[in-house]
Amino acid sequence: MGIFGESKETGKSTTSDFREGKRTLLMSTFTARASAEGMALFSRTFGNAAASDDQFDALKTALRTSGALSATEAAITSHTEQALDSLAKCHNPELINQLTALADTLITRNV
């Protein structure tokens, strides 16, 4: 969301994680899947505070076209489903409801 969201909605720059070189599952997935050209772009741009918005936009496109974004979203969904399945062992209905609502909020949130 931080990278692909809208700054107006998230309250932060969509390029700050790139500029700071923040290592995330998305970045790890990308580096495992990227073409040589994608890795060259990543190396020039990721963690480069002086990179242009156009370079960051190109990196966002590369994240999508490599399949890294969809793979990361699938991993998030899978982990969330596993966590929710684990709640079946809990004998506290109020806690189950609260944690389920939290998971739903985190998965579907816009900000």
Q: Angle, to 10 degrees, between the axis of helix 25-33 and the axis of helix 36-45?
A: 140
DSSP three-state, residue 77: helix
pLDDT in tens, 49-79: 999 999 999 999 999 999 999 999 899 889 9
> Taking the alpha carbons of 87, 92, 96, 102 in that order, is the dihedral positive or negative?
negative
What pLDDT was estimated at residue 10? 65
Q: Which residues of the chain have pLDDT under 70?
A: 1-2, 10, 109-111
Domain spans, the chain: 7-71, 73-108
